[in-house]
Amino acid sequence: MTDRLSVIFAALADPTRRAILARLAEGDATVSELAEPFSISLPAVSRHLKVLEQAGLITRSRSAQWRSSSLQAEPLREATAWMERYRRFWDDNFTRLDAHLRHIQEQEKQQ
């Protein structure tokens, strides 16, 4: 699970972390500010932030004793780019063609 895409998807697989990203979309925030809406301890949030940072989804800066987190959406672009490869499988414009190709494939499998 060492590849970049896996790290990104794994980071996004936790609802708390996605909520943190949603909050950061409204502006930078400190660890305490990010922890406030959740019923989990500060160390737990601190770890989530480390996971997000390692995935490149946030950057952090220090100002006095506060550590501010800032959203970095570039990894989301990468993840989206990967998914785009499958767009034809859900996009209406391609559904008909895709069904046709699958039919062809099934026929070939018979032989």
Binding site for a copy of itself (CB under 8 A): 1, 3, 5-6, 9-10, 12-15, 18, 21-22, 25, 27-28, 71-74, 76-77, 79-80, 82-87, 89-90, 102, 105-106, 109
What residue has token string 């060492």? 2
Q: Does 65 contact DNA by CB under 7 A? A: yes
Binding test (CB under 7 A) with DNA, winner from 28, 67, 73, 98 = 67
For the chain, counts of helices (H) and of strands (E): 6, 3
Closest residue by Cα to residue 67 from 99, 45, 100, 89: 45
Gyration radius from the chain CA atoms: 20
What is the total residue count of the chain?
A: 111
What residues make contact with DNA under the rule CB under 7 A? 1, 10, 13-14, 16, 30-33, 39-51, 60, 62, 64-68
